[in-house]
Amino acid sequence: MDTRTKFYYAALILALIIGIWIQLPKSRSGEGHYMAVNVTKLPDGTCQIYWLGGTDYESFVENLKVGNEVVGHPLAGTMIYNGTDCNTSVKMLMRDTHTYQQIHPEVRK
């Protein structure tokens, strides 16, 4: 094998290693499929919660639950709650595990 071919293969291996290295922090962060809501407190004391969606929402979330009420699978930007409790829980039913994951109020780990 000549020297030019060795450098070519070494460059390919280096590009592969760099590509894998760039992807590793993303997969370990735990925030790859972050979903969000926007809570707006109005001057009259009521709160509105809007579903903002998130990365690949259609694939991962089956439906949403606000408090004890299931609101289905709303589009991004849809108001999902209008009431007086700004701390009402918002949970999403994950398709893969069939369990609810709370997203509001945010649960700190």
Rounded distance between C-alpha atoms, residue 92 and residue 90, angstroms? 7
In a domain, 87, yes or no: yes
Range of the domain at 9: 1-29
In a domain, 109, yes or no: no
pLDDT at 90 > cutoff 80? yes
Rounded distance between C-alpha atoms, residue 67 and residue 82, angstroms? 12
Rounded distance between C-alpha atoms, residue 71 and residue 51, angstroms? 11
Could you tell me the pLDDT band of residue 29, with boundaries at 50, 70 and 90? Answer: very low
Contact 104, 90 (CB under 8 A): yes
In a domain, 96, yes or no: yes
Q: Do residue 56 and residue 15 come from a single domain?
A: no
Count Cα neighbours of 59 within 13 Å in the Cβ-side half-sphere: 5
Is the pTM above the cut of 0.75? no
pLDDT digits (tens, 9 = 90+) for 48-83: 999 887 766 667 788 899 999 999 888 888 899 999
In a domain, 12, yes or no: yes
Average pLDDT, the chain: 82
Q: Do residue 23 and residue 64 come from a single domain?
A: no
How many distinct structural domains can be found in the chain? Answer: 2
User: Of the candidates 92, 106, 95, which has an alpha carbon nearest to the alpha carbon of residue 51?
Assistant: 92
Q: Do residue 61 and residue 13 come from a single domain?
A: no
